[in-house]
Amino acid sequence: MKQFVKRFVKRWLPAACGRLVRLFAKSDEGSGTVSGIALITVAAVMLGVVAAAGNLLICLHRAQYVADLAAVAAATALREGSATPCEAASRTTHGNDGELQSCAILGEDVQVTVGVGTKVPFASQVSKSSRAGPVACE
């Protein structure tokens, strides 16, 4: 029995495996191309998602920055006695490529909401709010 196993392992197993490998190798011609195309497609989609997320993140930070600037400009104009502090906020917002969506005077404080355009198709604009005014010294 041992000799049969040795002979089988030495002669027949490699021959049988070789036939199986050749059989399956013939049926796999061109499958690498399909896998390559799928891999490139997945990589391109992931790159697009990362680029869109990066653009949204940058625009969110820019919207907050512009909202802070507009709120401080409006609060300064209100403190200096201007009758139209929201005009100062609007000028500041438009000067920084934003859009003033709302401006409210709350006592000595000013609250503004600013929108900034993005280059992402499903989110054409992002908005942020900011509030500014004098702080009492104690």
Q: How far apart are CA 118 and CA 65, in angstroms?
A: 15
DSSP E strand boundaries for 1-138:
99-106, 109-120, 123-132
Residue 22 has what pLDDT? 60
The model's pTM? 0.70
Return the structure tokens found at 47.
């790159």
Residue 122 pLDDT class (50, 70, 90 cuts): confident
Proportion of the chain above pLDDT 90, given as a percent: 61
For residue 129, pLDDT beyond 90: yes
Q: Which residue has the tokens 């917002």?
A: 93
Look at residue 134 in the predicted model and tell me its pLDDT.
Answer: 86
pLDDT at 31 over 80: no
Torsion of CA 27, 32, 34, 37, to 10 degrees: 180
